Amino acid sequence: METVAEQHPEHAMWPRDAATRACARSVSMEMHAGFADLRAKMPMEIHTCAPGKGAAAESLPSIARVEAIWSECLERSGGPFLFGEFGIADAMFAPVVTRFNSYSPVLSDASRAYCERVTQLPVVAEWIDGARKELAR
CATH number of the domain within which 49 lies: 1.20.1050.10
In a domain, 30, yes or no: yes
Contact 82, 90 (CB under 8 A): yes
In a domain, 50, yes or no: yes
In a domain, 3, yes or no: no
In a domain, 96, yes or no: yes
Picking from 107, 109, 114, the residue whose alpha carbon sits closest to that of residue 79 is 114
Say how many domains are in the chain. Answer: 1
In a domain, 45, yes or no: yes
Torsion angle defined by CA atoms of residues 62, 66, 69 and 75, in that order, rounded to the nearest 10 degrees: -140
Give the per-residue pLDDT at 56.
83
Picking from 53, 90, 88, the residue whose alpha carbon sits closest to that of residue 70 is 90
The pLDDT mean for the chain works out to: 92
Domain span at residue 52 reads 18-136
SS3 121: coil
In a domain, 95, yes or no: yes
In a domain, 12, yes or no: no
Encode pLDDT of 21-60 as tens digits.
999 999 999 999 999 999 999 999 888 889 988 888 889 9
Phi and psi torsions of 103, nearest 5°: -105, -10
* Residue 97 CB neighbours (<10 A): 22
pTM listed for this prediction: 0.92
In a domain, 5, yes or no: no
